[in-house]
């Protein structure tokens, strides 16, 4: 369960494309930050994705991946050319296939092999046609689905929604959100050649005149209970209301937003209808990682949390510079896991009502983030000084770490008092026990 959004330069305050995404996964599933350099590959080599091997290409581009720790691909990420992609689970009437490429694999493959949004769109379609989509995407449960994608570069963006081998694509004109539901209706720009004929054969519509992609291909039950339509409506409304004045802060606010029912205290109730999703019910996931990209044509700025629960997390600026020391290689998975896990310890202490000065934490987090935003806004991103950028990153990562450790230490010995209904309390007690057993916390 996730939400992804984009605002093109014609809708933002500074004329720069802004892309944003929450990754909603099972709450104990670590969401790690990995940077992979560009590489050359020998002839006739293969690459092992999550489930299958496919042909490797002679050269792959440098990528930043925000990904479940056990998946080869990623939920969202970017490459050295400022191409950004995020994917969503969608539930359709088409059957789920055997192990093949999963949506997260397609995101990584497109980032490693494409430069622009249109090129990535066509490449994902090619992957879908050649290899198909299928395979379990659940961390400790079986969870299969089809995929939609939001693909953006500095000048353009596309939505691609799939149902088995079938697909429809729509070019973004200004602002757009996607969620865990098919959202393209009649106004698609490209589609599978048999998209409408297949729907007619299935009896989902009579012909082209009454064809509507989402209505015809949506599986209604899982789509309804995912809460996706409420989240899609909420993020879309904020983008429309702020069109022409959208900033990185606008996107952060959307990623941190909750439905009215839980907004006063989101840490004692689950919420499938919140963009900042909180687990605690038999269905539904939790926001395990968050990301905002300001896609300057010069040096894009990426605001990353590296942690779950964006309403608690601090967004830190990041730039893909040579010889930076802040993110992790594929060989440093253990270190990346420890990074996510430290921040998750703080979140679990909030759930347990052990952080008794939470208002003070939020105040300090906001002060750090606002100071970073102000510092970054004064930079010339067309020709930035790499040393200045590295200094800002160093300060951001160090200040966040001190903040987290300070509040963990202050509250470490406070008693556990999980609030909420009996099922919510039982759910988080069980999740916390499992997480602490699999990876001892700081």
Q: Left, alpha or beta for 305 (phi > 0: left; psi -120 to 50: alpha)?
A: alpha
CA 263 to CA 257: how far, in whole Å? 8
Res 282: pLDDT = 76
Instruction: Compute the distance between CA of residue 171 and CA of residue 58 in angstroms, rounded to an integer.
Output: 30
Q: Strand pairing partners for 161?
A: 148, 168
C-alpha–C-alpha distance, residues 351 and 27, integer Å = 12
C-alpha angle 107-99-48 in degrees, rounded to nearest 5: 55
Which residue in 414, 363, 315, 409 sits closest to 22, CA to CA? 315
Q: Indicate if 2 belongs to the active site.
A: yes
What residue spans of 210-279 are helical by DSSP H?
213-217, 220-225, 228-241, 248-255
CA 82 – CA 205 distance, rounded (Å):
40
Q: What is the number of other CB atoms lying within 10 angstroms of the CB of residue 436?
A: 14
What domains are there in the chain, each with its CATH number? 2-332 (3.60.60.10)
- pLDDT by residue for the chain (442 residues), tens only, comes to 899 999 999 999 999 999 999 999 999 999 999 999 999 999 999 999 999 999 999 999 999 999 999 999 999 999 999 999 999 999 999 999 899 999 999 999 999 999 999 999 999 999 999 999 999 999 988 999 999 999 999 999 999 999 999 999 999 999 999 999 999 999 999 999 999 999 999 999 999 999 999 999 999 999 999 999 999 999 999 999 999 999 999 999 999 999 999 999 999 999 999 999 999 987 779 999 999 999 998 899 999 999 999 999 999 999 999 988 889 999 999 999 999 999 999 999 999 999 999 999 999 999 999 999 999 999 989 889 999 999 999 999 999 999 999 999 999 999 999 999 999 999 999 999 999 988 754 4
Identified catalytic residue from 2, 74, 137, 311: 2
What is the chain's length? 442
Neighbours of 286 (CB within 10 A): 25
Q: What is the pTM of this model?
A: 0.97
């Amino acid at each position: 369960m996730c939400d992804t959004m984009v605002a093109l330069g014609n809708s933002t305050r500074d004329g720069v494309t802004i892309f944003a995404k929450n990754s909603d996964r099972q709450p104990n599933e670590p969401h790690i930050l990995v940077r992979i350099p560009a590489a050359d590959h020998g002839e006739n080599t293969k690459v092992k994705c999550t489930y299958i091997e496919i042909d490797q290409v002679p050269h792959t581009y440098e990528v930043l991946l925000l990904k479940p720790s056990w998946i080869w691909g990623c939920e969202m990420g970017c490459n050295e050319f400022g191409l950004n992609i995020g994917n969503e689970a969608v539930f359709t009437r088409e059957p789920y296939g055997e192990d093949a490429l999963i949506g997260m694999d397609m995101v990584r493959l497109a980032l490693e092999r494409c430069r622009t949004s249109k090129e990535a769109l066509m490449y994902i379609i090619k992957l879908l046609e050649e290899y198909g989509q299928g395979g379990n995407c659940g961390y400790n449960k079986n969870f299969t689905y089809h995929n939609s994608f939001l693909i953006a570069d500095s000048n353009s963006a596309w939505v691609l929604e799939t149902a088995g081998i079938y697909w429809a694509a729509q070019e973004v004109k200004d602002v757009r959100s996607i969620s865990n539901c098919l959202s393209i209706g009649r106004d698609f720009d490209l589609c599978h050649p048999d998209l409408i004929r297949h729907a007619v054969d299935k009896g989902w519509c009579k012909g082209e005149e009454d064809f509507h992609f989402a209505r015809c291909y949506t599986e209604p039950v899982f789509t309804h209970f995912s809460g996706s339509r409420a989240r899609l409506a909420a993020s879309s409304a904020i983008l429309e209301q702020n069109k022409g004045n959208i900033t990185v802060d606008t996107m952060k606010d959307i990623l941190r937003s909750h439905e009215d029912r839980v907004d006063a205290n989101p840490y004692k109730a689950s919420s499938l209808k919140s963009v900042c999703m909180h687990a605690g019910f038999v269905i539904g996931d939790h926001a395990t990682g968050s990301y905002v990209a300001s896609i300057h044509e010069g040096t894009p700025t990426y605001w990353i949390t590296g942690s779950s629960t964006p309403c608690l997390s601090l967004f830190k600026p990041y730039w893909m510079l040579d010889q930076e020391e802040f993110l992790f290689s594929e060989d440093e998975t253990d270190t990346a896991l420890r990074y996510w896990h430290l921040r998750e310890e703080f979140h679990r202490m909030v759930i347990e009502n052990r952080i008794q000065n939470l208002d003070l934490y939020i105040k300090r987090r906001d002060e750090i983030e606002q100071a970073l935003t102000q510092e970054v806004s004064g930079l010339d991103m067309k020709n930035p000084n790499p040393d200045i950028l590295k200094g800002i990153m160093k300060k951001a990562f160090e200040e966040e770490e001190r903040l987290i450790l300070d509040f963990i230490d202050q509250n470490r010995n406070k008693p556990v008092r999980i609030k909420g209904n009996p099922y919510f309390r039982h759910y988080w007690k069980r999740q916390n026990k499992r997480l602490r057993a699999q990876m001892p916390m700081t």
